[in-house]
């Protein structure tokens, strides 16, 4: 089965508020995670990534937190804007593969709606 999964399928947040999107994973050996944003009718867009030697990484208005103890990561978006409305996926590369490639396993996704 999939290693990554999300707690909530939908999330509505008032514009200007902060949002938190959660993701759980099951493989304790997972060492790299990526968050993608997918707007309607478009392909996934890289937001931010984190490696297991870190527990926090910050970008522009986004922060990813990694809790290896409970195998959980979250994406925090500060001061949300209408353009943040999208589906957000966490993903991890398949390290088990013998092919040396980095095919991604995606979670189901959380649909974030920003309320004006």
List of residues contacting other proteins (CB under 8 A): 32, 34, 36, 41-46, 89, 93-94, 97, 99-109
Closest CA to 87 of 115, 113, 56, 55: 113
Q: Shortest gap between Cβ of 8 and other proteins (angstroms)?
A: 14
Q: Shortest gap between Cβ of 94 and other proteins (angstroms)?
A: 8
DSSP letter (8 states) at residue 37: E
Please, which residue, 69 or 98, has the CB nearer to other proteins? 98
Listed in sequence order, the residues at least 6 apart from 11 whose beta carbon sits closer than 8 Å to its beta carbon are: 19, 21, 110, 111, 112, 113
Please, which residue, 41 or 116, has the CB nearer to other proteins? 41
CA distance 84 to 88: 10
Q: Shortest gap between Cβ of 25 and other proteins (angstroms)?
A: 13
Please, is 86 exposed, middle or buried when counting C-beta atoms within 10 Å of its C-beta (0-12, 13-18, 19+)? buried
Please, which residue, 69 or 96, has the CB nearer to other proteins? 96
Q: Shortest gap between Cβ of 93 and other proteins (angstroms)?
A: 5
């Amino acid at each position: 089965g999939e290693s990554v999964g999300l707690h909530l399928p939908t999330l509505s947040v008032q514009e200007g508020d902060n949002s938190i999107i959660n993701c759980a994973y099951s493989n304790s050996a997972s060492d790299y995670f990526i968050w993608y944003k997918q707007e309607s009718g478009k392909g996934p867009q890289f937001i931010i990534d984190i490696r297991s030697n870190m527990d926090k990484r910050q970008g522009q208005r986004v922060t990813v937190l990694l809790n290896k103890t409970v195998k959980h990561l979250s994406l925090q978006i500060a001061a949300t804007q209408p353009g943040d409305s999208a589906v957000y996926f966490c993903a991890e590369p398949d390290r088990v593969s013998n092919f040396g490639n980095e095919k991604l396993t995606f979670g189901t996704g959380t649909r974030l709606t920003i309320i004006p």
